[in-house]
Structure 1
Amino acid sequence: MLVVRAVALATALSVALAGCGRASRGPEGGEGASGTDSARQRPVVVLQGVDATTLDPAGHAETPAYNILNNIYDTLIYRNQDMKLEPGLATEWRTLNDTTWELKLREGVRFHNGDPFNAYDVKATIERIIDPEEASPRRNNLSAVQEVRVIDDYTVHIITSVPYPILPNRLANEHVISAEYLAEYGKEHLANNPMGTGPYRFVRWVKQEEVVLEANPDYWRGAPQIQQVIFRPVPEAATRISQIQTGQADIAVNIPANQVEALRNDSRVRIVEVPSVRVIYVAVQTRRGGILANPTFRRALAHAIDGEALIEKVLMGNGYLMATALTPQHFGFNPDLQPYRYDPDLARQLLAEAGYQGEEIQFDTPSGRYAMDKEMAEAIAGQLAQVGVNVRIQVNEWGNHVDLMTSREQKGIYILGWGNATWDADGTLSPLLFGDGAFSSYESPEVDELILRARSTMDPAERERLYHEALRMIHEDAAHLIDWRQKDVYATSTRIHWLPRSDEEINLFSATWAG
């Protein structure tokens, strides 16, 4: 039986705050940090590459939306700056048997409208995600969950259909909504007017312009130091950089590699970076038949791509070539696999064997969502053209790009990224490479069976063996043509202190005024 117990409340709060990387501070409004009072009254502005597609916690599977919602909502289990699990809205979790988890919930927490948090909110949150009629893109995250039982106001039992060892990892990524708020206003209202228990309250969302949040003075972990936060979508990296330099913004994502050194010498800017949980990849639509369904053709494409040159010349060294969509820090990573070697002669040979006749291959990419995403797509298309593959690039607005993947309407190859913050192989394989995965364009009954067996196996050594085999088969099938691990590079203003996280969370509760 696995048991995780919370320490006394005061100690738990201290640990939670320390895990967030908060600097010590004096009373609200006091001095001790640089900058004038008027400067501190201005909102902290965060620039992401794209806007959220929705503000419904169950309606998305994307980091831009998650970053906004993570400041409005809490999770049952919290992952701290060191990526370790600690109590959140749940103070304790344990297995009663192989398929039953018991969670003890934190008392005294209130939603932003004043309603108390309790077990019925947990039940509503999870049941929405697993309900097939809701069609949540997060459903695979909790698909093993069969039932949520309310034992009392602050105790829930989560029943799984099979043993599910990574349930705590999954719960650390799911934001808890108010059951009463959902019942009263409905999910369409929730998607545009989120209301949680988190450090910031929602003020307004002007789509494609800004999301405005204000500090929650009654937050159970203490009031945030930053009083107002604005998230803005700015696809152009040059514009994001300019707004940091001119004091219009305070945090900007995805700083291009070729700008980093110059910005390090700019006294108005801080550069902060961290190896990311996110792996960017070029996937192949294998479900629609035609030449892309032929693994020989896919292997030809993989051998035509010079990954090392792309990392060096396009990303300026700010990336890491990978064999699969898992990093070495993920449980289940297979160290025996290597990226496809660049071999254009072999690529041409395999193209002939596959019977390629010059069919046009559509290559879908976003622009501004990931560092140098469109530029990587253009460079890859150029390399494929050198071996005779006819590629047409289609640049998509981010929301349309996501819709294209989840609707399975994509017809060729495409760039997408996945930030698996469960730090477990299931968090990548289930959504991306399982037959029914929300973002899967790959199908293999043999791989599906391995993923299902690993998901329901409590023995870590056996789970690891199953994941190694699944990854080997996926790699041999060339389901992904190239994978690279992102290095997250941010620019910040000098008036705040904020540390990036490997899981890409932009957590403003941890931000303080610089001093």
Structure 2
Amino acid sequence: MQHHRALWMRAAAWVSAVALVLAGCAGAGRSSRGPDGGAGSSGAGAQRPVVVLQGVDATTLDPAGHAETPAYNILNNIYDTLIYRNHEMKLEPGLATEWRTLNDTTWELKLRQGVKFHNGDTFNAADVKATIERIIDPAEASPRRNNLSAIQEVKIIDDYTVHIITSAPYPILPNRLASEHVISAEYLAEHGKEYLAANPMGTGPYKFVRWVKQEEVVLEANPDYWRGAPQIQQVIFRPVPEAATRISQIQTGQADIAVNIPANQVEALRNDPSVKIVDVPSVRVIYVAFQTRKGGIVGNPTFRRALAHAIDARSLIDNVLMGAGYHMATALTPQHFGFDPSIQPYPYDPDLARRLLAESGYQGEEIQFDTPSGRYAMDKEMAEAIAGQLQKIGVNVKLQVNEWGNHVGLMTSREQKGIYMLGWGNATWDADGTLSPLLSGDGAFSSHESPVSDELILKARSTMDQAERERLYHQALRQLHEDVAHLIDWQQKDIYATSTRIEWTPRSDEEINLVSARLVQ
């Protein structure tokens, strides 16, 4: 803890120095003004806006009212978090300059001074308390409540110090705080949550200008941003569901960043001088799991191992995903805390698969394979190819393609009959964010339970010593791998198209942050 704190303090010192220089530029005092503080356009008209195309519009612009990436990407440019996750997915000071544990259930956060909200309100501890208490209040029904449900109380010690008390040891609290945007307590109290949901107002690099639903969200640069004013003066987020339309708008210069480019379009776009293709390994892992709770042949580990050796993952990734994926041995990526590089994927060995299948006592029972269609890149196509590989060793697979809402219902009710596909984006970058919900007996999306791995996962979740936590997670992963809880895991590759006039690097957590982007034309 002391070593990590020293690193954070060195980073905080540099950021604090920047903040002190900028503090004199910010307005003073509390204000009841609207989200733009009555300011002008800051010269936004002098530069053509940067246009970002996402697949869907935000459902709300209330930081506590959503659990979706499209809304988060917009809000991340308007608000700040207490703790910032940098491009390398490491934690750095944000609105909190330092954080430490006073005991196993008490965290102390020191807050950054001199920071202003866009309307001139001064950021302080009351804003942190209001932000967190609103999310954890059951009456608010925030979709983000589970992220912070371990928090029992937020105490204001002084204007720039807060204590966060958890109901049990909760070592990943900093990871969780890195995903929560801090609102102004006074702005919320004066205007109410309905107004906030349509008129966001934060301390971030961009100020909210307007939201025309299903058309665009317009933001303009905050010249007094405590980290330094953004180079891009105006940003527009637009919802465009069709991938072909997103690509066309990049090619014709109508847009600058487009998400979710199909892998089968990449080669042609790389030859287009008006387009740049950028990609990154994603936080999201797609997996095919076994329903082991219902007994039968799927509950037999020898049968599961037979199926695992029947999968030619390299062929699937090369020929179905067109290379846009990475075969994983477990449901964690190398960037996640707790990842164990010593665990290797089950090797493709169809002869061994057939021998194990016979050994398991399989008699040709039908195995249902539930998959969504259109939720993940080439999901139905991957399911079809996996089913084909299983059929080659003699498994009777029935592929069931589900509408997304029905598919999620099957997962949460645990009514899957055999094997199923799902994806999980664990932006905490900690093993707990995957193993607890997906692979422990009490997990909301888990169809697997094991006394050994369940105990290890639960113990790791409330262990404050990081080295011991990592050891426990490695043990749990090895046990899950031995149990063959998953048939196959692959890390998604996120593919974006950009215009040639912008320099922007995508992040593995799917965030689109424009403060670090640059125009080159």
Q: Fold-level match, TM-score > 0.5?
A: yes
Per-residue CA deviation, residues 242-265 of structure 1 (Å, 9 max, x unaligned), is 221122321122333333333222
Task: Please say if 1:391 is aligned against 2:398.
Answer: yes
- Tell me by how many angstroms 1:323 deviates: 0.5
Per the alignment, do residues 277 and 226 of structure 1 end up closer, same or farther by CA in structure 2, a change over 3 Å counting? Answer: same
Greater mean alpha carbon deviation, residues 173-182 or residues 92-101: 173-182
Tell me which amino acid in the other structure corresponds to 1:206. Answer: K
Separation in 2 of the partners of 1:54 and 1:143? 22
For 2:112, the equivalent position in structure 1 comes to 106
Identity of aligned residues (%): 78
Task: Please say if 1:496 is aligned against 2:502.
Answer: yes
Segments of structure 1 that go 5 or more residues without pairing to the other structure are 17-27, 31-36
Per the alignment, do residues 139 and 492 of structure 1 end up closer, same or farther by CA in structure 2, a change over 3 Å counting? Answer: same
Tell me which amino acid in the other structure corresponds to 1:86. Answer: E
Per the alignment, do residues 377 and 246 of structure 1 end up closer, same or farther by CA in structure 2, a change over 3 Å counting? Answer: farther
- Tell me by how many angstroms 1:311 deviates: 1.2
For 2:339, the equivalent position in structure 1 comes to 333
Query: 1:283·1:414 contact (CA, 8 Å) conserved in 2?
Result: yes
For 2:311, the equivalent position in structure 1 comes to 305
Per the alignment, do residues 108 and 356 of structure 1 end up closer, same or farther by CA in structure 2, a change over 3 Å counting? Answer: farther
Task: Please say if 1:239 is aligned against 2:245.
Answer: yes
- Tell me by how many angstroms 1:380 deviates: 2.3
Task: Please say if 1:476 is aligned against 2:493.
Answer: no
For 1:92, the equivalent position in structure 2 comes to 98
Counterpart secondary structure, 1:240? helix
Query: 1:45·1:249 contact (CA, 8 Å) conserved in 2?
Result: yes
- Tell me by how many angstroms 1:162 deviates: 3.7
For 2:269, the equivalent position in structure 1 comes to 263
Task: Please say if 1:67 is aligned against 2:73.
Answer: yes
Per the alignment, do residues 243 and 462 of structure 1 end up closer, same or farther by CA in structure 2, a change over 3 Å counting? Answer: same
Tell me which amino acid in the other structure corresponds to 1:68. Answer: I
Per the alignment, do residues 70 and 90 of structure 1 end up closer, same or farther by CA in structure 2, a change over 3 Å counting? Answer: same
Separation in 2 of the partners of 1:409 and 1:132? 28
- Tell me by how many angstroms 1:164 deviates: 3.4
Separation in 1 of the partners of 2:116 and 2:174? 23
Query: 1:297·1:356 contact (CA, 8 Å) conserved in 2?
Result: no
Query: 2:287·2:421 contact (CA, 8 Å) conserved in 1?
Result: yes
Query: 1:49·1:370 contact (CA, 8 Å) conserved in 2?
Result: no
Separation in 2 of the partners of 1:58 and 1:351? 49
Separation in 2 of the partners of 1:179 and 1:289? 52
- Tell me by how many angstroms 1:189 deviates: 6.0
For 2:176, the equivalent position in structure 1 comes to 170
Query: 2:367·2:419 contact (CA, 8 Å) conserved in 1?
Result: no
- Tell me by how many angstroms 1:371 deviates: 3.5
Per-residue CA deviation, residues 5-31 of structure 1 (Å, 9 max, x unaligned), is 331665345999xxxxxxxxxxx769x
- Tell me by how many angstroms 1:297 deviates: 4.9
- Tell me by how many angstroms 1:321 deviates: 0.7
Per the alignment, do residues 376 and 230 of structure 1 end up closer, same or farther by CA in structure 2, a change over 3 Å counting? Answer: farther
Separation in 1 of the partners of 2:373 and 2:340? 29
Per the alignment, do residues 128 and 400 of structure 1 end up closer, same or farther by CA in structure 2, a change over 3 Å counting? Answer: farther
Per-residue CA deviation, residues 14-54 of structure 1 (Å, 9 max, x unaligned), is 999xxxxxxxxxxx769xxxxxx87x33x422233455555
For 2:491, the equivalent position in structure 1 comes to 485
Per-residue CA deviation, residues 171-214 of structure 1 (Å, 9 max, x unaligned), is 2122223445555666666556544332234422525x554444
Task: Please say if 1:206 is aligned against 2:217.
Answer: no
Tell me which amino acid in the other structure corresponds to 2:247. Answer: I
Query: 1:137·1:438 contact (CA, 8 Å) conserved in 2?
Result: no
Separation in 2 of the partners of 1:211 and 1:287? 46
Query: 1:296·1:354 contact (CA, 8 Å) conserved in 2?
Result: no
Give the alignment partner of residue 7 of structure 1, picking from 5, 13, 16.
13
Tell me which amino acid in the other structure corresponds to 1:391. Answer: K
Tell me which amino acid in the other structure corresponds to 1:311. Answer: I
Per the alignment, do residues 271 and 97 of structure 1 end up closer, same or farther by CA in structure 2, a change over 3 Å counting? Answer: same
Larger radius of gyration: 2
- Tell me by how many angstroms 1:381 deviates: 3.3
Separation in 2 of the partners of 1:265 and 1:273? 16
Tell me which amino acid in the other structure corresponds to 1:265. Answer: N
Task: Please say if 1:378 is aligned against 2:381.
Answer: no
Separation in 1 of the partners of 2:289 and 2:474? 20
Separation in 2 of the partners of 1:45 and 1:144? 38
**How many residues matched?**
494
Separation in 1 of the partners of 2:241 and 2:314? 26
Per-residue CA deviation, residues 46-91 of structure 1 (Å, 9 max, x unaligned), is 2334555554434554433332321222110112223332221112
- Tell me by how many angstroms 1:269 deviates: 0.6
Counterpart secondary structure, 2:470? helix
For 2:30, the equivalent position in structure 1 comes to none
Tell me which amino acid in the other structure corresponds to 2:204. Answer: G
- Tell me by how many angstroms 1:470 deviates: 0.9
Segments of structure 2 that go 5 or more residues without pairing to the other structure are 23-41
Separation in 1 of the partners of 2:292 and 2:212? 38
Task: Please say if 1:365 is aligned against 2:400.
Answer: no
Separation in 1 of the partners of 2:411 and 2:234? 34
Counterpart secondary structure, 1:7? helix
Per the alignment, do residues 214 and 335 of structure 1 end up closer, same or farther by CA in structure 2, a change over 3 Å counting? Answer: same
For 2:26, the equivalent position in structure 1 comes to none
Query: 2:15·2:227 contact (CA, 8 Å) conserved in 1?
Result: no
Alignment of 1:29-178 (within 5 A): 40-41=47-48, 43-52=49-58, 55-131=61-137, 138-178=144-184
Separation in 1 of the partners of 2:212 and 2:147? 27
Query: 1:322·1:339 contact (CA, 8 Å) conserved in 2?
Result: yes
TM-score of the superposed pair, with normalisation by structure 2:
0.81
For 2:256, the equivalent position in structure 1 comes to 250
- Tell me by how many angstroms 1:492 deviates: 0.3
- Tell me by how many angstroms 1:467 deviates: 0.3
For 2:466, the equivalent position in structure 1 comes to 460
Separation in 2 of the partners of 1:103 and 1:256? 43
Per the alignment, do residues 140 and 490 of structure 1 end up closer, same or farther by CA in structure 2, a change over 3 Å counting? Answer: same
TM-score of the superposed pair, with normalisation by structure 1:
0.82
Separation in 2 of the partners of 1:362 and 1:191? 40
Task: Please say if 1:446 is aligned against 2:452.
Answer: yes
- Tell me by how many angstroms 1:101 deviates: 1.5
